[in-house]
Structure 1
Amino acid sequence: MSATLVAVALSLISAVAYAAAAVAQERLASRTTDAGMLRLLGRGAWWWSVGLNAGAALLHVAALKYGTLTLVQPLGALTLVAAVPLGARLAGRRVSTVEWRGTALTLAGLSAVLVTASGPAPDDVLSVPQALAVTGAAAALIGVLARPGARPGLRHASASGFASGVASALTQTVTVAVTDRSGPLLSGQVIVVAVLVAALAAGGLLLSQTAYRGGLGAPLAVVTLANPIAAAVIGLSLLGERLQGGAAGLLLAGAGAAVAAWGVVTLSRSAPEPAAVESEQHPVAAVLALEPRPAPYEPSLLPRRPAPTPPASGHLTPL
């Protein structure tokens, strides 16, 4: 099996785990206020979502060993795509026409990206000054997007996507450096970059948790799109990655990315209005049900008031 096929397979499994983790975060965030965010640390459901994220991240790291950033990162769009049939099955319904359309567009766009981004396993890494510069630029951008007092929403989702994309780029540096037998296993470069990865990954997780307080569909779509943009910029500008096919390949990759983005947005808008029945919720939101919902109000189950006692015989009823 070629390195490209291994990277694609690992990315697919990682996307399913990320989808389940995102649902867990969204369900918890919708029930949490600003003052109660720290209380999540004492809830098993939140740690379950962290575990899912950690498992997905390990699979993602393995994929980065076999594929370039420009190949692996766009496959994060499969987070939405993989959840559609599973979510529909758990919700007891069929996949809607809009969801099929969004899935088809996303897969078609990713196929074009795969044709141009396929290449040998990565062997270039970021130096420590480059890693520090990239992290500093990302921190400045994240600070602007998630400034104190800003309403949770798409800005926080964008910041989370950029943080995750930069963390993936740095993770690839750690992975390639550690698996390179020509140098020490834990060099200064590996340690410094690993610390930066941990900080960015934690920041991205907290930012996405905040963003999901406004719902799952649109924030998850923004995270899904911002992540590969940040990673592709680093891969093409600093890691020497190239798209296949020259100028034609560049145009094909751009068109594929646009079609995939259209598909992701279509999937994110497939969620019904809040008044819709529970079984018709967004396909991703149906993947995981963490907390039971209260039973609906049924007046017939309430105790009835006793009928009035008729007056005794021989007494007149007052008018």
Structure 2
Amino acid sequence: MTDLIIAIALCVAVAIVYATAALIQAGYAHLTIRECTRVPLWWVAQLLNVAGAGLHVVSLGFGPLSLIQPLGVLTLVIAMVFSATRARRRMTRLETIGLVSTVAGLTGLAMLITTGGTPDTLSTGELTGLLLGGVVLVGLLAAKGAMAGSSALWEAAAGGIAYAICSALCQTFVVGLQTTGLSVLVTPFMLVAILAIGAFAVGGTVFTQRSYRDGLAAPLAVTNLVNPASATGIGVVFLGESVATTPTEIVLAVVCGALAAYGVTSLAKAREAEPVLQRA
């Protein structure tokens, strides 16, 4: 139970850091990535992302991937609260409904998710399969989003999957370090995993930054829904984790998932309407 509390507390801290970074990044969504690299404050956002990733890696040592990743949706909730505070206004009715629905849905999902034991690590075959599948899927989504006239949400989804793969690789790194020690760092397997973490982290950053070109709310909502969904799938398929299996648990999980999705959608709509409210 202590590990669970620590994992949840770390997840909340990660969400706060990521939400702050997202708000900063969204302010420069009109710039290209090359132009962003010339803005000092944009680099502050990247440092916050690194700090959030560090806290996220630590949290993976206290809980399973399929539990930790869904709590990442709190980033959108916190970003919405920060945005309202910065604008010195009260939360709208739609924002309040979205906030309550998201928190309720996530709480239910967190209580329903179970695991088959301590956090597992990827085998060589699983690492190869995950990397090949991840590169193909993320590449296709990113290419679709880069097409003229395409929705930015394609790149938001690509970013969410890239971050989920990073999380799975980070869990393998953390557990391997805990069980084997520093000697694991010089093994070919772990060196490939570390390089892949860096590659997918950079890709996730680029794709999410580009996805903000049409606004923050909807892309952030998509990223924070795709991320935990992908991570849960990776946890079940590759890491030996399990989710709700009884009929009652499945029904409750579906209800909680729908409630969280409704909440995130409401928050996205509320944030999309925010500029209109400010002009009125």
TM-score, normalized by length of structure 2? 0.91
> In the alignment, what sits opposite 1:149?
147
- 1:39-118 alignment runs, 5 A limit: 39-118=35-114
Who is 1:28 aligned against? 28
Partner in structure 1 of residue 173 of structure 2: 174
* Distance (whole Å) between structure 2 residues aligned to residue 168 and residue 220 of structure 1: 18
Match of 2:34 in 1: 38
* TM alignment of 1:178-217, pairs within 5 A: 178-181=177-180, 184-186=183-185, 187-217=187-217
The offset of 1:253, in angstroms, is 2.1
Is the CA contact (8 Å cut-off) linking 1:71 and 1:114 kept in structure 2? Answer: yes
Alpha-carbon distance change, 2 to 215 in structure 1, aligned in 2, over 3 angstroms: same
Tell me the amino acid that sits aligned with residue 52 of structure 1. L
Query: Which letter maps to 1:277?
Result: Q
Question: 2:258, 2:196 → 1: CA distance?
Answer: 31
Q: Report if aligned partners of 1:67, 1:121 keep a CA contact under 8 Å in 2.
A: no
> What CA distance in whole angstroms lies between the structure 2 residues aligned with 1:122 and 1:42?
43
Q: Secondary structure at the match of 1:29?
A: coil
Report what 2:278 is aligned to.
277
More helix by percentage: 2
What is the distance in 2 between the residues matched to 1:23 and 1:84?
A: 9
1:8-27 to structure 2, matched below 5 A, reads 8-27=8-27
The CA RMSD measured in Å over matched residues stands at 2.1
How much has 1:245 moved relative to structure 2? 6.2
Q: Does 193-202 or 79-88 show the bigger shift? A: 79-88
- Output the amino acid matched with 2:70: P
> If the length of structure 1 is used for normalisation, what is the TM-score?
0.80
Partner of residue 223, structure 2: 223
Q: Which moved more, 1:117-126 or 1:222-231?
A: 117-126
How far, CA to CA, are the matches of 2:161 and 2:261 in structure 1? 16
Question: Equivalent residues in 2 for 1:121-140 (5 A)?
Answer: 122-140=118-136
Q: Does the C-alpha gap of structure 1 residues 100 and 169 become closer, same or farther in structure 2, counting only changes over 3 Å?
A: same
Listed as ranges, the gaps of 5+ residues in structure 2 are none
User: Does the 8 Å contact 2:22/2:79 carry over to 1?
Assistant: no
Distance 1:42 1:256, change over 3 A: same
Give the AA of the match of 2:41.
A
Paired amino acid for 2:206 = L
TM-aligned CA deviation for residue 168 of structure 1? 0.8
Question: How many residues are paired up?
Answer: 275
Displacement after TM superposition at 1:128 (Å): 2.3
Distance 1:8 1:273, change over 3 A: closer
Distance 2:33 2:245 in 1: 48
Deviation string 1:258-278 (CA, Å, 9 cap, x unpaired) is 211111111011022644426
Residues in 2 aligned to 1:23 and 1:62: alpha-carbon distance in whole angstroms: 24
CA distance in 2, matches of 1:25, 1:87: 13
CA distance in structure 1 between the partners assigned to 2:130 and 2:69 by the alignment: 17
Aligned residues of 1:128 and 1:193 also touching (Cα < 8 A): no
The answer as to whether partners of 1:66 and 1:122 remain within 8 angstroms in 2 is no
* Contact residue 4 and residue 119 of structure 1 kept, 8 A: no
Residue 121 of structure 1 deviates from its aligned partner by 6.8
Identity of matched residues, %: 35
Matched-pair contact (CA < 8 Å) for 1:67–1:119: no
